[in-house]
Structure 1
Amino acid sequence: MSTVTGLSSPPNETAGLSRRFYLTAWRWHFYAGLYVAPFLIMLAVTGLIMLWAGVLVGRDGENAFRVTPGQSVAAVSKQASAAFIAVPGQVVQYIAPRTADGVSVFRIDHDGAASMVAVNPYTADVVGQWSRRDALYDLANDIHGTLLLGTVGDRLIEIAAGFGIVLVITGLYLWWPRDGKGLRAALVPDLSAKGRQLWKSLHLSIGLYVSLILVLFLLSGLTWAGVWGERMTQAWSTFPAQKWDNVPLSDITHASMNHGGIKQVPWTLEQTPMPASGSDAGIAGTPQGEPVTIDAVVALARKLGFDQRFQLAFPNGETGVWTIARDTMSNDSADPLSDRTVHVDQYTGKVLADVGFADYGLPGKAMAVGIAFHEGDMGLWNLVLNTLFCLSIVFLSASGVVMWWKRRPKGAVRLFAPNISEPGPLWKTGAVVMLAVSLLFPLTGAVLVTVLCLDLLIIRNIRPLKKALS
């Protein structure tokens, strides 16, 4: 029986459009994967290196040393003096031990370089020293963030992250059970399959299980990126310095406390101006009338609840402040809800600002938790999960290449992308959806529009080029 024109389509026509939409999604998935897969492998491998280097050696190298706990801890000023004697220069940072058998670490700047000095907190003896940010963790971090190409590398990775979102959306559409297959067939890989079908089954099932985590990783990573993060998302999510009543502000921001590609300041504070020393502002901090020394500031930190590991940055310049900080992103703790930054006037010892997790806006809270999760800082479960996730990403990227290689004819001199007939209404709908998703991320959208224009104006009109890319 025929259907009424305009109310429904013949079954074979509907099936044809559905199949065309499937092939179109597959084609999007294929081309996005060509660009994204190498970046995903790089991010997963360097992520694994950073994850385990942080566990085995420590972000700042402190885990390479262990001491025998004593009955009493030496004054931090005495420890700092020992570090200074070992490496003459300007002491600019103190990192408190995480455990009873851990070492105190001091950063000392000298001759345009920075060194880290490990000190036994009980005897004030120097037990080791090394160049700051000169380890395997730091090399992996630089590759992870910029490909060692600076701003250009950052932009290339940001583009890849945007296309990664497209890859996940199209992948989930391709994964959705169809042709009479139940949900179990998609959730559980068919290990009895052979050849390309086995690779496909594993790719689909593993891809489903890691898709949500991948989106979280891509979004949290994008928020550190130069365009989507710093110029858009972070700009309107910055903690307002106006919350610090009657506190003079410096001309520099919290981002000045970062060093190179290493992020040490909570995301929501990076663009917030630093408070300035040299006024009567603030609330009671160190004992009034006594010198504002490192020992006094460390004692204040303990009084305020900074137990175990925290970081203390020394004042920088005449208006600089003492900054007491603990955040999960810097591996100070495993609980992002305990993140806290306190600024102390270097002259009066008064507390000028005290910002904790509860003070962050919703995006700032999301980033505090998201980055901690991204870096595997939230405990053993996070470490194990991130390890499995990174290995899964390497497998998904590699299996995509294997499936393409097995599908292409021997001796083929073209990409052999999934082929579709002339575009129809569903193709146009899919293009609009993908374009809208991509344009949420400016760089990715710009690249997408450029590619579409090249395809329409150049590639389609040059037969050899069209054949090679098809």
Structure 2
Amino acid sequence: MTMTSAMPDGRAERASTKSFYLIAWRWHFYAGLYVAPFLLVLALTGLMMLWTSVLSGRDGEKYYTVTPAQTQVAVSAQADAALAAIPNGKVVQYIAPRTEEGAAIFRVNNGDASSMVAVDPYNGTVLGSWDRRNGLYDLANKIHGTLMIGDLGDRLIEVAAGFGIVLIVTGLYLWWPREGKGFGSVLVPQFAARGRQLWKSLHVTVGFYISLILMIFLVSGLSWAGIWGDKFTQAWSTFPAAKWDNVPLSDATHASMNHGGVKEVPWTLEQTSMPMSGSDAGKMGIAEGQPVNLDGIVAFARSIGFNNRFQLGFPADDSGVWTLSRDTMSNDSANPLSDRTVHIDQYTGKVLADVGFSDYGVPGKAMAVGIAFHEGDMGVWNIVLVTVFCLSIIFMSVSGMVMWWKRRPAGASRLMAPAVPGDMKLWKTGAIIMLAVSLLFPLTGAVLLTVIALDYLIVRRVKPLKRALS
């Protein structure tokens, strides 16, 4: 007969609960050990990206302001001015001003080089130019997405995001009020506490409030990840090209419109094939007899509701299309419900595809809103919330390390992980729960299984290693 079975029911239940608490604490400790450095990097670079976008714009469109006048020069004349600023260049994109005081932005390619040129839309004067995707936002974005080590960095962050879910689940269990304490002990920090207990109280309260937002950030952030995003999730939730109404399709997908690590195409469209110009397919667009050129396309865009900032991609080759787009992921607007992408045949002016938010599937709609929220694109309230959230993540990461350091005896040569409970009857239950959460994210699940195998086959059998990691 075991000691637990000999106990009265109440004591046995308390012992089992304590054992499960210790199991959850160990999961939380080890997950946090891996996740915390990544969360720190993601929060810091996220703040850099957010405020660079707010202050100067992702494409540098806020660097220059203009004085509004009664009339504007033709967009084609603005494009010519931009082209003259980059010898031997080719205009490939037009970004309409967000406000009356905003400059028109043109992307001009010259071989492998790509430049952005700001033009005053009222007089056609070139205001300045700069290398595309070579600013502070782009540096932060590269660190945020790949740690500047390519696919390896992407995979490491994806694993961290998966373990971040484990961190949330175990954290919520650990934070749940027990031993006669009410929710007040979670909702309000215990400022009267001192030392490690104060840090713990602040960690619990801040963690409780940001847990749901962190979950949203982790899941929406994973939509960019190489395994979970591109192959596991996006593959089955992409917009069907069959809805292009039998127009000819290119071998290229919408993802070809992205540039480097920066995503500019609505998430649900990335894997969908692009339509092609050069047929009689499509619906009525530019009126017959009207020229299908830059000025005509921009006028048509205004007539169908593309107001303020929108982007216009030029045909890439003889079979390419004009592409009008407005979406919150590209910071064109603050309302994901206004997302819209329109492809126009470069020869006939017919509309080959017109996709809005209402056409997305449920995952596409969720991600359109989730990514816009993640990037702080939905207005001032969103900017404030994301700023507070990133600062809270920094605090959570630091406070977790401080609590560990304060709990650790001076001069200890071990990690001082939470103790293994004496009664391990619930170990399998805890492992199954955490494994199920992790396996929702394949790469994290694979790493978790590897860690469990290494622990069982090596760490437990090598005493110095077992002691160091205990």
Q: Which interval holds the TM-score relative to the shorter structure?
A: over 0.9
- State the distance in 1 between where 2:62 and 2:54 align: 8
Using the size of structure 2 for normalisation, the TM-score is 0.98
Please name the residue that 1:420 is paired with.
420
Report deviation, 1:114: 0.1
1:404-454 superposed Cα distances (whole Å, 9 cap, x missing partner): 000000000010000023452212101110011111111100110000001
Equivalent residues of 2:23, 2:420 under 8 A apart: yes
For residues 238 and 228 of structure 1, what CA distance do their matches in structure 2 show? 14
Q: C-alpha separation between the residues in 2 aligned to 1:369 and 1:7?
A: 55
What does the per-residue CA deviation read over 1:183-219, in whole Å, with 9 as the maximum and x for residues that have no partner? 1111110011100000000000000000000000000
Which digits, 9 at most, give the CA deviation of each residue in 1:37-92, with x for residues without a partner? 00000000000000000000001001010000011011000000000001120100
**What is residue 406 of structure 1 aligned with on the other side?**
406
Question: Which structure 2 residues correspond to residues 134-283 of structure 1 after superposition, within 5 A?
Answer: 134-283=134-283
Separation (CA, whole Å) in 2 of partners of 1:259 and 1:423: 55
The one-letter amino acid paired with 2:466 is K
Q: Distance in 1 between matches of 2:314 and 2:328?
A: 20
Displacement of 1:224? 1.5
The corresponding residue for 1:18 is 17
Give the residue type in structure 2 aligned to 1:115.
S
Name the counterpart of 1:385.
385
Q: Deviations over 1:224-260 (max 9, x none)?
A: 2111111011001000010111211011000000001
AA partner of residue 56 (structure 1): L
Q: How many matched pairs?
A: 466
CA distance in 1, matches of 2:228, 2:211: 21
Corresponding residue for 2:45? 46
1:411-450 pair list within 5 angstroms: 411-422=411-422, 424-450=424-450
- Length-normalised TM-score, structure 1: 0.98
SS in structure 1 opposite 2:252?
strand
Preserved CA contact (<8 Å) 2:23 2:421: no
- The aligned counterpart of 1:28 is 27
Inter-partner Cα distance in structure 2 for 1:236 and 1:308: 33
Structure 1 residue 291, shift from structure 2 partner = 2.5
Give the drift of 1:12: 2.0
CA distance in 2, matches of 1:24, 1:280: 66
Q: Which residue of 1 aligns with 2:343?
A: 343
Q: Give yes or no for contact 2:417–2:469 (8 Å, CA) kept in 1.
A: yes
* CA-atom RMSD in angstroms: 1.2
Question: Counterpart amino acid of 1:63?
Answer: K
CA contact (8 A) 2:228 2:442 kept: yes
**Partner-residue secondary structure (3-state), 1:178:** coil
Letter in 1 for 2:465: L
Structure 2 counterpart of 1:333: 333
- Alpha-carbon distance change, 365 to 120 in structure 1, aligned in 2, over 3 angstroms: same
**Correspondence 1:87 to 2:63:** no
1:462 equivalent in alignment to 2:467: no
Counterparts of 1:337 and 1:159, CA distance in 2: 31
| Deviation readout 1:117-148 (Å, 9 max, x if unpaired) | 00000000000100000000000001000100
State the distance in 2 between where 1:468 and 1:242 align: 58
Give the whole-Å Cα distance in 1 for the aligned partners of 2:14 and 2:366: 43
SS of residue paired to 1:274? strand
Q: Give the letter aligned to residue 389 of structure 1.
A: F
CA-to-partner distance for each residue in 1:9-51, whole Å, 9 max, x for gaps? 6322221111111011000000000000000000000000000
* DSSP 3-state at the match of 1:436: helix
Instruction: Give the residue type in structure 2 aligned to 1:197.
Output: Q
Q: Give the secondary structure class of the aligned counterpart of 1:234.
A: helix
Q: For 2:269 and 2:8, how far apart are their aligned partners in 1?
A: 56
- Matching residue's letter, 1:462: V
Q: Distance in 1 between matches of 2:190 and 2:11?
A: 30
Describe the superposition over 1:157-208 as per-residue Cα deviations: whole angstroms up to 9, x where unpaired.
0000000000000000000000111111111100111000000000000000
Instruction: Tell me how far apart the structure 2 counterparts of residues 182 and 281 of structure 1 sit (CA, whole Å).
Output: 66
Q: Distance in 1 between matches of 2:282 and 2:452?
A: 57
> Alignment partner of 1:242: what SS?
helix
Structure 1, unpaired ranges of 5+:
none
What is the CA–CA distance in structure 1 between the aligned matches of 2:7 and 2:28, rounded to whole Å? 30
1:364 aligns with 2:364: yes
Asked whether the equivalents of residues 36 and 397 of structure 2 are also in contact (C-alpha less than 8 Å), the reply is yes
Find the aligned partners of 2:469 and 2:416 in 1 and give their Cα distance.
7
Task: State how far apart, in whole Å, the 1-side matches of 2:290 and 2:370 are.
Answer: 41
Distance 1:159 1:266 in 2: 24
> Does the 8 Å contact 2:438/2:444 carry over to 1?
yes
The 10-residue stretch of structure 1 (219-228 or 407-416) with the greater mean CA deviation from structure 2: 219-228
Distance 1:294 1:179 in 2: 70
Q: Distance in 1 between matches of 2:66 and 2:183?
A: 55
Separation (CA, whole Å) in 1 of partners of 2:280 and 2:394: 56
Distance 1:121 1:149, change over 3 A: same
Shift in Å at residue 6 of structure 1? Answer: 8.8
- Aligned: 1:70 with 2:77: no
Q: Aligned partners of 2:404, 2:193: CA distance in 1, in Å?
A: 17
Residue 8 of structure 1 and its aligned partner are, at CA, apart by 9.8
- Unmatched 5+ residue regions in structure 2? none
What is the CA-CA distance between 1:284 and the residue it aligns to? 1.3
Q: Is the 8 A contact 2:22 2:421 kept in 1?
A: no
Provide the C-alpha distance between the structure 1 equivalents of 2:400 and 2:138, rounded to a whole number of angstroms.
30
Letter in 1 for 2:393: I
Range with greater deviation from structure 2 (424-433 or 172-181): 424-433
Which amino acid letter does the alignment assign opposite residue 79 of structure 1?
Answer: Q
Aligned to 2:130: 130
